[in-house]
Structure 1
Amino acid sequence: MSADTIQDARRQIEICNACRYCEGYCAVFPAMTRQKAFADGDITQLANLCHNCRGCYYACQYTEPHEFALNLPKALAEVRQDSWQDFAWPPQFGKAFHTSGVAITVLIVLCFSLLFALSRTVMPVGGEGFYATLSHSMMVAIFMPAFLLPLGSLAISLRRYWQHVNGGRLTMTAVKAAFVDAGRMKNLSGGHGEGCNFEDEDRFTKLRKIGHQLTMWGFLLCFAATSSGTILHYGFDIKAPYSLISLPKLFGVTGGIMLTLGTLKLAWLKTNADRNLGDTRVWGGEMAFVLLLCAVAVTGLGLYAATGSTLVPALLATHLGTVLAFFLLMPFSKMAHGFYRLTALIADKTR
């Protein structure tokens, strides 16, 4: 992490800690008031507790043109982004995505979509539904390592983070409390429960919280659809395609709709918010990832709608390409923020 970035964040945090006007806004400020001096690990922990709602900036009397020139959301966003890059494993991938996230995302999606499209011409397939286009064994051979390896990478990254911030000894009480706060999106509710003013100084709304909740629960439902399909396939020998009233379809269609609406809402809010209150270096990469997640949902819904038509091979190749890109980029892209913030909440609860 840049020493200048850490030092500027420390300067601003010390001023905020003396003022304490924003004490009830989010988890950052109560955590800040527990100490008077801040090591590098403390700054990193506070940065990852921050959800960039920007309420503290709009309430602050020390922003420009005041000589203190505070911009705490931006300072913490830069520290947070640097921490994700530095703790990422392998570190080279983290640095590459940090500087060229959009190009990497587009290139991976196009390459894998083309690869899946060409695979039909060189490999025999058999089965019903999507398996008539790409065999079940081939899907498992490709996606199992593509799912497990990024999770392993994230585990290494989070362990590095935990050691850096001196997270302490894990307790089930702390873990449970952190999951409750994360599930409720407590830190996106604002200090008075009115929501945040992420996109407008004078307008408090819960739109960002709703967008995050739709995205999170939509993603979890899509994951539940895949998991239930796996259980049906291997546990009960019930193979795809599944009917609309089956668990995979009920979870998948509902989750796909929620994920689409959530990511579109987040993308719209991002275009309306002040870029200078976040890390401007990675605005494009963050937007690319939100749209990639949206593309996963849209192509999945489109694939289901096109079942039985001649569009299935092309749509399946595109959908699998976006899904594979999503998994492979998970430890290095904006998706990592969910894991880091949950870990930061757990570390906060242990204290």
Structure 2
Amino acid sequence: MKYVEEYRDGKMAREIAERIRQEALPTREYNLMEFCGGHTHAIFRYGIPDLLPDNVNMIHGPGCPVCVLPISRLDTAIELAVTHGVILCSYGDMMRVPGSRKRNLLKARAAGADVRMVYSCMDALKLAQDNPDREVVFFAIGFETTTPPTALVIHQAKQLGLTNFTVFCNHVLTPAAISSILDSPEAGELGLLSLDGFVGPAHVSTVIGSQPYERFATDYNKPIVIAGFEPLDLLQAILMLIRQLNDGRAEVENEFSRAVTRHGNERAKDIVAKTFEVRDAFEWRGLGFVPHSALKIRPKFAQFDAELRFPVDYHSSAENAACQCGAILHGVKSPRDCTLFGGACTPENPLGPCMVSSEGACAAYYSYGRHQESLIVTDNAE
């Protein structure tokens, strides 16, 4: 398969890994954060940690949209379904994420709320068309990748003249999260969080391009290499970061050039800009309130804003005191540092979102990383 099998060649993977071992200086540590949860899963699925020297450390970032959504926003979605009696449409990953008082969307549905799992925002729009006597709310989450479809569906709802369709907007912004991590007190404390560079997200970058990351290279002196999701992509990106750090360079490099350009998808960015504006601040699980880090619906589309149509008191809610999801998302801890991991907290009985989401670090560790299996890629000749 073009652009897939070529990037899973076991022989070439071992060759790149050997270059990493040769070029990683034994006198220093390399702490590299892969921002994207999809990268975290790929890293463990393909056994990449087993191929890296001990002084090259992969740190898992907050690039999981389900994981970073705070309990209070999930509680608000549950209240929309329970208190206001709407048809609440949600992606499947959100259905089992625990809110406060051990509630989640699945339990709300079992108790009688009309919560429906959808595969796209277009499914929610179709439900609104098919149920003109019911209010339909789409629970919109995600980074820049999923924002353009939400913008498009709002425009389509307006063109159709729908009056029973709204969006509960929770779209968040990748560059603001990276800024928050680099500006956090932990980033300056030795032994707690020391980041040397970033593996930049793939899907997000196809939309926003590589240009928004350039300030992290110039202002923070942190190299970034945008990478695809295949094992050769990730190994090559790690090698490129090591070379930058050895040379004393801090640049934005694009390993995923087959899909990412400097300016991204202009049409997608244009419809997002027409539909949304940046919030002054937004709460992230693990990062707290981050300025200018999320989007809200513009006033010209206010009739499709669920937060305006169905007022629900918004307040921060306490996390499970034993759950380490916040610290894991911040890159300060790994799933193995959580006493609940693999015992009280499993994919079948998740106590935190990092164990629920298909992009969560705990789910990646549980599925692939507990036994540190060897690389799964195979030689073409095998």
In the superposition, the TM-score normalised over structure 2's length comes to 0.27
Higher fraction of helix: 1
Higher fraction of strand: 2
In the superposition, the TM-score normalised over structure 1's length comes to 0.29
